[in-house]
Amino acid sequence: MTEAALLVVKQGVGIGVLSEAARQLALGLVWAGLPRQPMNEPQVNAALKALLADAMQCLDTDHVELRRWLVDAGWMRRDGYGREYQRSNEHEVPEHLRGLAAALAPLDLAAWACGQRDRVALQRQQRRQAWLDQQPAQARPTA
């Protein structure tokens, strides 16, 4: 999960510029955060917008592009009319992604991503404090 942790703490990540492995990881994370029940287009759009606003805020895309990536990569199915969308089951994703799907399926994406961002923020704060502690008293910023 190290690669996933590094991904969710970034900002402005474009799906199209990621390597294939990183793209599938990003899509798999989104997949893990999707509801398991069938959704109509407004429902799937709302679910994707919510993920992009919170757990997957690292991605620089919109819900429409993300929905297309998910369908094209096999992480999500839709009916022939585009009226119903369904998160693919673990055994329905392409065979080469099933291991990733199995690892991500139990993930509480929102809580996990928040925890990763909190961890990085704490590390930054600790590094800053360590740096401040090494500065002479008169050179320390006040604030």
89-102 tens-digit pLDDT? 999 999 999 999 99
For residues 95-117, average pLDDT: 94
Q: Taking all residues of the chain, what is their mean pLDDT, rounded to a whole number?
A: 92
32-66 tens-digit pLDDT? 999 999 999 999 999 999 999 999 999 999 999 99
118-133 tens-digit pLDDT? 988 898 899 998 888 8
Burial 101-134 (b: 16+ CB within 10 A, else e): beebeebebeebbeebbeeeeeeeeeeeeeeeee
Report whether pLDDT(1) > 60.
Answer: no
Q: What is the pTM of this model?
A: 0.86
> Which string of DSSP letters, residue by residue, matches 39-75?
EEHHHHHHHHHHHHHTTTTTB---HHHHHHHHHHHTS
Task: Report the C-alpha gap between 57 and 55 in whole angstroms.
Answer: 6
How many percent of the chain have pLDDT more than 90?
76
Cα end-to-end distance, the chain, whole Å: 36
pLDDT grade, residue 143 (50/70/90)? low
Report whether pLDDT(140) > 80.
Answer: no
* Residue 76 amino acid letter: M
Check residue 141 and give its pLDDT. Answer: 64
| Residues ≥6 apart with Cβ < 8 Å to 83 | 40, 41
